[in-house]
Amino acid sequence: MRRIGGLIAFGLLGIMAANSAAAQQANSAIEEVQRRVVKIFGAGGVRGLHAYSTGFLISPEGHVATVWNHVLDPDTVTVILHDGRKFEGRVVGAEPQLQMAILKIEGEDLPHFELADAGSAGTGTRVLGFGNMYKVATGDEPVSVLQGVVAAKTRLRARRGAFEVPYDGEVYIVDAITNNPGTGGGVLTTRDGRLLAMIGKELRNSETNTWINYAIPVEGEFADIAEQIMTDRFRSSRDEVKRDEPENKYRAVDFGIVLVPDVLFRTPAYIDHVLPKSPAAEAGLRADDLMLFVDGELVQSCKELEAELGRMEEGDFVPLVVRRGDELVTVELEVPDRDE
């Protein structure tokens, strides 16, 4: 009987030792991931918009992957590393269909994730979510860490407010409250710290109206486009012929778009008003919309918007992404006939 009890005691000690080893491994992984996660501070503070989000380093030279949202509206944002160092960051590329933007800070030998090493996970995989939830970190404080499991890997069916989101690819659905204010752009990893996905924005399920805790897989398209942006290879097919194109065929007003006065070097492309019965009115564009993308091309000023619209061809239907309040709205604009 004592022998049996000794075996039981030995077994309990073994379980405790195994649990202790697992905890130590998890703690070590969390410390490593925290060194690669950054805090981002930019636009916000009005209409209930939070002025902070999260990102993660993906190169030793200071490239940061994050979620494309209103926080990135200024020309530059503040990026704070795990040790409290502050940098000025600027957007060097974005892909709205993936909700992804790439920032650049001036650094070297920075701890980072290798995109090529990003993995995948199946249902039931235990995961960790890292993000600056509710701005808990403003300096060298660590961001929040949540643990959970992958509940499913499925296509995204969601909206933000009343609007459908552009991304409809596969996501990880996680049984942890990962998509709180500030966590967008954070990372989802395995328990041993391997990169899996970028945490998305706050979204509701378009069918059930419930909040979704999801993350966009890094492996595959996300990693490919991020690498193209970092190496300045992310181009649309039109980029190769832009230099040979004639003078702009159209102006924004030809579409019924009247922009705010272009008084700065880079005046944001806000719509002042929309002309009645115009293509812009039919597409649902409104005053105060901020034009962000034209046919997949990022536009950062009134001049860039005019240039992109000027290259359109008669009869085309051009996808646009605009910011309306705290929403990203996708519309389709018909290019008018020049003879009309």
**CATH class name, domain 237-334:** mainly beta
Say yes or no to pLDDT of 53 above 90. Answer: yes
Q: Find, among 133, 333, 338, 97, the residue nearest to 221 by Cα.
A: 97
Tens digits of residue pLDDT in 134-167: 999 999 999 999 999 999 999 887 766 555 666 7
Residue 273: Cβ-neighbour burial (10 angstroms; 0-12, 13-18, 19+): middle
Using alpha carbons only, give the angle 274, 280, 285 rounded to the nearest 5 degrees: 70
For residue 233, the model assigns a pLDDT of 80
pLDDT score recorded for residue 224: 94
> Going edge to edge, which strands form the sheet with 290-294?
297-298, 290-294, 317-324, 327-334
Residue type, 236: S
Q: How far apart are CA 118 and CA 15, in angstroms?
A: 31
pLDDT score of 41 more than 80: yes
Residue 219 has phi, psi (to 5 degrees) of -60, 135
The rounded distance, in Å, linking the Cα atoms of 133 and 176 is: 13
Return the biggest CA–CA distance within the chain.
99
Q: What's the token pair of residue 218?
A: 């890094």
Q: Please tell me the distance from the alpha carbon of residue 186 to that of residue 45, in angstroms, as a whole number.
A: 20
Q: Does the pLDDT of residue 10 top 50, yes or no?
A: no
Whether residue 118 has pLDDT greater than 50: yes
User: Which pLDDT score is estimated for 183?
Assistant: 93
Compute the distance between CA of residue 131 and CA of residue 83 in angstroms, rounded to an integer: 16
Look up the pTM and report it.
0.70
Tell me the C-alpha distance between 223 and 236, whole Å.
Answer: 17
Per-domain boundaries in the chain: 34-230, 237-334
The pLDDT tens digits for 211-245 are: 889 999 999 999 999 999 999 887 643 444 344 44
With bands split at pLDDT 50, 70 and 90, how would you rate the model's confidence at 4? very low
* CATH of segment(s) 34-230: 2.40.10.120
Cα 281 from Cα 262, distance rounded (Å) = 22
Look at the chain and count its residues: 340
Separation of alpha carbons 219 and 200, rounded Å: 15
Between CA 102 and CA 230 the distance in angstroms is: 8
